[in-house]
Structure 1
């Protein structure tokens, strides 16, 4: 999955990855995609809820080698 931006939150624990994600997504232009890299298992629960609550699209989610990768698209509106 292609992304215009990457946020590396590996090694950080809840709530830091979601707080950093919130700040980063606000800087995106509508339609841009941000890739979040995380190692905290709670991001698997928190990131989808964050996207649903704030209206962002969770385009893709993958897990590999104890890392969690999320691709989040900022809405057009």
Structure 2
């Protein structure tokens, strides 16, 4: 199965809470509604923080994976 496509990317590797979510809050505004932002992070707290961010702000968490200590999120921007 091919990896889903994305329109923009945020590399938050090496950053720790609250920096990844703060950067996500700014970067999601650069993505048009309905488009997908890919976020790569190494902080395990993002597994809790990013789904909550999406839930509270009306974005869709399309996919969430973890491999070799990197967490990858695909987020579809809401309206």
Q: Do the structures match in fold with TM over 0.5?
A: yes
Please give the alpha-carbon distance, in whole angstroms, between the structure 2 residues aligned to 1:11 and 1:28.
Answer: 23
TM-score, normalised via structure 2 length: 0.94
Q: Which residue of 1 aligns with 2:71?
A: 68
Please give the alpha-carbon distance, in whole angstroms, between the structure 1 residues aligned to 2:37 and 2:30.
Answer: 10
Q: Deviations over 1:17-41 (max 9, x none)?
A: 0000000001111111000000000
Runs of 4+ in 1 over 3 A off after TM superposition: none
Equivalenced residue count is 76
Given candidates 53, 56, 59, the residue that maps to 1:53 is 56
Q: Which residue of 2 aligns with 1:18?
A: 21
| CA RMSD across the alignment | 0.6
TM-score, normalised via structure 1 length: 0.96
**Runs of 5+ unmatched residues, structure 2:** none
Please give the alpha-carbon distance, in whole angstroms, between the structure 1 residues aligned to 2:63 and 2:40.
Answer: 12
CA displacement at 1:56 relative to structure 2:
0.3
The answer to whether the 8 A contact 2:7-2:31 is kept is no
